[in-house]
């Protein structure tokens, strides 16, 4: 399967164009729309989100990841193999966290060129065809490159900030919940959140943090919206000792 992970947004032509570019070369391939509203222009927050979501997918999944504010610039186009999964997209740190959490990682620079490559839509013109070619077993022109030559920002193993706000207004952090004790409180802008197992563990309207289904610490309100408190992507979170 080919898994789409982008900041394109759910409306507009871009997702359709991405899917069309895949279908031209791999019409029978399963395409999964994992996320179309990843943090806009934000490879850092997206890197932690991608690392949390990827383990749910099978070993042979191909992730087409386009968070690419440097499109048309000097960043490299990459194929990164992490375990038995493949990640295709720009070299801007987007794959740094998922790669860091694996002991089996390799990278290639895409050298294949399409007949037409727009300056601003490499997702459609370059990355999507490459994903389709790999999915059908077609050889893609590429060159192995050492992992230590890739963009490897000095980002922490866990990011103490909000990385995503979902449809329900829940605010995901870049902190893996298994690194926190149940007695830990999280602080956002002076607001302190205690841990609960799940929504039904607290009263209606109560704010808390819990381990979400993807293993991240998430700030929520039972039957309410945490984002209405003002929480937004990029906001810092402080871990308070128990």
What total number of domains does the chain contain?
A: 2
Q: Which residues have C-beta within 8 Å of that of residue 182, sequence separation ≥ 6?
A: 195
pLDDT of residue 209: 98
C-beta of residue 173 within 8 angstroms of C-beta of residue 159: yes
pLDDT of residue 206: 97
pLDDT of residue 152: 85
Residues with pLDDT less than 50, the chain: none
pTM of the predicted model as reported, rounded to 2 decimal places: 0.95
pLDDT of residue 241: 80
166 in the same domain as 138: no
What's 141's domain CATH number?
3.40.50.10790
What's 182's domain CATH number?
2.40.30.90
Closest CA to 131 of 55, 65, 54, 72: 65
Domain boundary among 149, 181, 205: 149
The CA-based angle 53-7-24, given to 5 degrees, is 90
89 in the same domain as 131: yes
Is residue 102 situated within a structural domain?
yes
Residue holding tokens 């926190």? 180
110 in the same domain as 164: no
C-beta of residue 125 within 8 angstroms of C-beta of residue 115: no
102 in the same domain as 15: yes
Cα→Cα distances 174→51, 57, 60, 105, 158, Å: 10, 19, 25, 22, 6
189 in the same domain as 135: no
Is residue 82 situated within a structural domain?
yes
Instruction: Tally helices (H) and strands (E) across the chain.
Output: 5, 14
178 in the same domain as 97: no
Domain of 193, in residue numbers: 159-240
CA dihedral (130, 59, 50, 220) positive or negative: positive
**Calpha distance 89→77 (Å, rounded):** 6
* Crossing angle of helices 128-135 and 14-25, rounded to 10°: 30
**Calpha distance 24→41 (Å, rounded):** 28
* 119 burial type by CB count under 10 A (0-12 exposed, 13-18 middle, 19+ buried): exposed
Is residue 154 situated within a structural domain?
no
């Amino acid at each position: 399967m080919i898994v789409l992970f982008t900041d394109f947004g759910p409306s507009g032509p871009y997702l359709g164009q991405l899917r069309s570019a895949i279908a031209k070369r791999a019409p029978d391939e399963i395409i999964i729309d994992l996320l179309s509203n990843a943090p806009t222009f934000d490879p850092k927050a997206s890197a932690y989100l991608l690392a949390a979501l990827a383990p749910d997918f099978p070993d042979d999944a191909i992730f087409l990841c386009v968070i690419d504010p440097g499109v048309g610039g000097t960043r490299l186009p990459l194929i990164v193999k992490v375990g038995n999964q493949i990640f295709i997209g720009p070299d801007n740190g987007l794959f740094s966290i998922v790669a860091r959490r694996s002991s089996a990682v390799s990278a290639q620079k895409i050298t294949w060129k399409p007949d037409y490559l727009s300056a601003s839509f490499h997702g459609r013109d370059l990355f999507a065809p490459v994903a389709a070619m790999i999915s059908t077993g077609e050889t893609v022109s590429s060159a192995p490159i050492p992992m230590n030559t890739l963009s490897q920002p000095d980002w922490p193993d866990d990011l103490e900030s909000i990385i995503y706000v979902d449809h329900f207004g829940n605010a995901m952090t870049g902190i893996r919940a298994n690194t926190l004790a149940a007695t830990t409180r999280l602080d956002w802008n002076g607001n302190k959140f205690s841990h609960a197992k799940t929504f039904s563990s607290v009263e209606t309207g109560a704010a808390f943090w819990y381990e979400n289904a993807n293993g991240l610490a998430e700030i929520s309100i039972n039957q309410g919206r945490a984002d209405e408190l003002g929480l937004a992507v990029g906001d810092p979170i402080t871990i308070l000792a128990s």
